[in-house]
Structure 1
Amino acid sequence: MADKQSTEDPTKSVQTPAVSKPAEKQSKKTTPGSLNSGSADGVENHENLEKPGAQPTAYSMRPAFGEMFPLPTIKTIMNNVMAEKLKDKTYDKDIAKKWTSEIADEVNQQIASSSKVKRYKHVVQVMLGQELGAGATYNSRCCWDCDCDTSVSEVFSNTSLFCVCTVFGTYQY
């Protein structure tokens, strides 16, 4: 009987679980984009440390092709607002300031309510002048990223006045 006890390896029961644990870890497969609940050295991931309800950050270097500043839509908005506000008006220097504010506010509101301008900030600038036959020059200068940021201008004129509306769109990184 002594031989029978000596043939039994007392560490056999200890070795079996030690061998099966790495096999379990190796059989756990992850797919790209999936999260692993623990790392190989046994350290837990920090998934549980995130604040409840926190939104993941969506940092991107450039807007996707379909998410660029929608210039045709903005041109249409500017043309419609200027035509609606100024089509039958004659220039009056006392009311011109009110008209420019109304046009800028309306264009700003319609652009902001459009779902096509995600992650863009925009600035609306309106200039109104009397049409007397003299020429006028309107310039602007900006420091921005030429790949993502842009601007669009539209001009409205009748026999009494002219109006230039410019919208600058800058991408939020």
Structure 2
Amino acid sequence: MSKLVKDEVRRKDKNGNQDDESHGARGKEKKIDEPDHHDDSKKVENTYQLGPYKRFPDGAATEILRDVLTSHLQEEKYEVQRSQELIITLTGIIKSRVKELEIPRYKIIVLMHLGQLADHGVHNTSSFLWDAANDTFASFSFKNSSLFCVATVYAVYYE
């Protein structure tokens, strides 16, 4: 059970003297034993770093895309129901492999399009607020007799 403390609310009269509040309760009740809700997240000092120490290796990311897509989709046949879980699995694998490169201060975004290979065309466009000096991307397209897949890894630098 928490202890209750009354904080007396005082106000000054015209002469500047403090006077107890005369209406109803003499003050507000405040719980003392309630735990404070502090943010336990790690606090990091600002480094004032305006650019990356190490640039994101988009060539290595392209090789990761090539390796994951060819190894997982080489014998795969296109099925509508399976495509959603396949995309979730493959984007997770790609993201974890790219994060293993341990390039600090980059946010990794993996975007993938998977579809049936038929007599139709696909046009793919993306738009970002982009810092051309520090942000980069890697992309790889794959197709077999049944499906096509376009995977893109965006590496966005954050300060």
Instruction: Normalising by structure 2, report the TM-score.
Output: 0.69
Say yes or no: does 1:94 pair with 2:92.
Answer: no
Provide the residue aligned with 2:130 in structure 1: 144
Matches within 5 A, 1:51-62: 57-62=46-51
* Secondary structure at the counterpart of residue 68 of structure 2: helix
Contact 1:154 1:166 in 2 (8 A): yes
Higher-strand-fraction structure: 2
Shift of 1:138: 0.8
Cα shift readout 1:56-103 (whole Å, capped 9, x = no counterpart)? 543311124xx1111011001111111111010110011000111111
Give the whole-Å Cα distance in 1 for the aligned partners of 2:121 and 2:147. Answer: 12
Q: Decide which of 106, 111, 118 is 1:132's aligned counterpart.
A: 118
More helix by share: 1
* Deviation at residue 133 of structure 1 after TM alignment: 2.6
Deviations 1:123-166 (A, max 9, x none): 00111000003211111001121111112211010010000101
Residue in 1 aligned with 2:143? 157
Unpaired runs of 5+ residues, structure 2, are: 1-42
What percentage of residue pairs aligned between the two structures are identical? Answer: 27
Pairwise CA distance, 1:119: 1.0
For residue 21 of structure 2, what is the aligned residue in structure 1?
Answer: none
Deviation at 1:104, TM superposition (A): 0.2
Q: Which residue of 1 aligns with 2:91?
A: 104
* Runs of 4 or more above 6 Å deviation: none
Highest CA radius of gyration, 1 or 2?
1
Q: CA deviation at 1:55?
A: 6.4
Q: Secondary structure at the match of 1:109?
A: helix
What is the aligned residue count?
A: 117
Q: TM-score, normalised by structure 1?
A: 0.64
The residue that corresponds to 1:29 in the other structure is none
Q: How does 1:1-173 map to 2 (within 5 A)?
A: 57-64=46-53, 67-115=54-102, 117-173=103-159
Unaligned runs of 5+ in 1: 1-53
CA distance in 2, matches of 1:122, 1:87: 25
